[in-house]
Structure 1
């Protein structure tokens, strides 16, 4: 059981969800405001993507990231900023010539995937630790070992902590290899991602198996998508982990009731408290994770 829980709120994501919930934030002000509201509701960490303000589609425009980060930092909140570094790995084979990229492909080098991280210098950025089929179409997310090693080297150079997102056991195996190679500053930070088609399923049994394959001294969190968001959060706390909630992973507060990010944070904080724990502050999260803003013991 974890009695001091780091709550992360993933406020918008990259999926086509804006038409399914009117509260999904789109422009930089909306995204920043959602992160600030989540922090006031009890989130210690805000995990941030950006979207094209005109279309709502996922974007990797560094200017949009910079605006969101500046807005959050200028607000009266101490929330830890965690920026996605997962864009730039989408491969869609061309229908006529599968050896060539088709419409929807967005492949970047390791360095180009990190341009906004270098410019914004968040305390945390995500690192998707392997390749995965996404959905029933031809969309493949590609993240190769050389790419991941290069990204890990760069973010360590900048003092940014990688949150290693793992979607199946092979991802954990390679993430542990990077830890063994000294590419990841300790304590290693993992996010167990469950229910993404076609990664590991969002069940308590799967969470237990994946948790048991993490390094024994890792700091980890888990999330499940859709209606399994809160059950997986409760299971993660019971197993000694931390939690992630937010509109990136789940759009509903209750059946037929669109959620806000703050409402999802409030609900998971209530669950944690009913289990006898508490949600830690941003500074406490920094100290536990060994972030660059952590307090140094006298």
Structure 2
């Protein structure tokens, strides 16, 4: 079991959730305030997506990410900033009679363009989604090919940003380990084992254990599951030796029918971890644990 646990709060995500829970932050000010709320509750890392101010949908606009980072860095909050690197991979395949007629919501760009805000802002951590995936029902496919991943991983390493490898299935983990063998990843690369996202790895404890067993020794990793499985996965991850992730990106509810805030979800995670006899690491301690820039 992990005795020293880092909590990541994924504050908003890319899904169309703002209309389903008014606590999902959209504007840079709202995102900043929600991150600070999570930090006050015990989160050491904030995983952040920018949102379009008019549509509330996820955005790749560099200036929106910049405003969030500027607001956080101007505050007293010392939380570790973890920006998504996954935007720009959405491919909506066309109808049966013409699958190459891609849907209007397709947002598909190359590996380097997906990292424009990472290059501009150089956060301490950014994510890299480690494989293509049938994303939910319908014709949406998230595209992240081996060539794209090799380019993205090498670029992130060159920028000096710690990469968090998002693992949605066992094949994603297999390829992430291959990139490690090829020297494309820094020694402090992190792994995030993502479960319950249709149609990746289901939220199954045996599958989580199998993926954990594939990881190299002394690897920093965390796991999460969606929806009602989010809080049980806090315990599940810590029991297997990992860190944890909660937040409104993955779950909108505190309990059945009760909408959550990011701070409330972090508070629940803190209670679970401390009641198991472990302690919560501060951002300063997490930086040291993860060997982030300036602490290695």
Sort the TM-score into its range (normalised by shorter chain): over 0.9
Counterpart-to-counterpart distance in 1, 2:231 and 2:138: 28
Counterpart-to-counterpart distance in 1, 2:31 and 2:203: 27
Counterpart-to-counterpart distance in 1, 2:169 and 2:216: 15
Task: Decide whether the 8 Å contact of 1:129 with 1:172 is kept in 2.
Answer: yes
| 1:102 aligned onto 2:106 | no
Q: How many residues align?
A: 295
Name the structure 2 match of 1:79.
79
| 1:268 aligned onto 2:264 | no
Name the structure 2 match of 1:152.
153
Name the structure 2 match of 1:19.
19
Counterpart-to-counterpart distance in 2, 1:286 and 1:293: 9
Q: 1:204, CA displacement in angstroms?
A: 1.5
Query: CA offsets per residue over residues 86-108 of structure 1, 9 Å max, x none?
Result: 01111111224212422211111
Name the structure 1 match of 2:281.
280
Name the structure 1 match of 2:200.
199
Counterpart-to-counterpart distance in 2, 1:187 and 1:29: 31
| 1:121 aligned onto 2:125 | no
Query: CA offsets per residue over residues 241-286 of structure 1, 9 Å max, x none?
Result: 0000000000001111100001100110111000001110111111
Name the structure 1 match of 2:133.
132
Name the structure 1 match of 2:92.
92
Structure 2 counterpart SS, 1:110: coil
Name the structure 2 match of 1:68.
68
Name the structure 2 match of 1:49.
49
Q: 1:293, CA displacement in angstroms?
A: 3.2
Task: Decide whether the 8 Å contact of 2:94 with 2:139 is kept in 1.
Answer: no
Matches within 5 A, 1:29-44: 29-44=29-44
Matches within 5 A, 1:142-291: 142-291=143-292
Query: Which residues of structure 1 form unaligned runs of 5+?
Result: none
Structure 2 counterpart SS, 1:272: helix
Counterpart-to-counterpart distance in 1, 2:112 and 2:153: 11
TM-score (norm 1): 0.97
Task: Decide whether the 8 Å contact of 1:187 with 1:217 is kept in 2.
Answer: no
Query: CA offsets per residue over residues 30-69 of structure 1, 9 Å max, x none?
Result: 0111011111111000000011112111111111000011
Task: Decide whether the 8 Å contact of 2:127 with 2:164 is kept in 1.
Answer: yes
Q: Give the alignment's Cα RMSD to 1 decimal.
A: 1.0
Q: 1:288, CA displacement in angstroms?
A: 1.1
Counterpart-to-counterpart distance in 1, 2:195 and 2:103: 28
Query: CA offsets per residue over residues 182-226 of structure 1, 9 Å max, x none?
Result: 111113310000000000001222211111122223110000000
Counterpart-to-counterpart distance in 1, 2:23 and 2:218: 37
Counterpart-to-counterpart distance in 2, 1:202 and 1:6: 21
Q: 1:110, CA displacement in angstroms?
A: 1.1
Structure 2 counterpart SS, 1:114: helix
Counterpart-to-counterpart distance in 1, 2:294 and 2:285: 10
Counterpart-to-counterpart distance in 2, 1:100 and 1:233: 42
Task: Decide whether the 8 Å contact of 2:51 with 2:58 is kept in 1.
Answer: yes
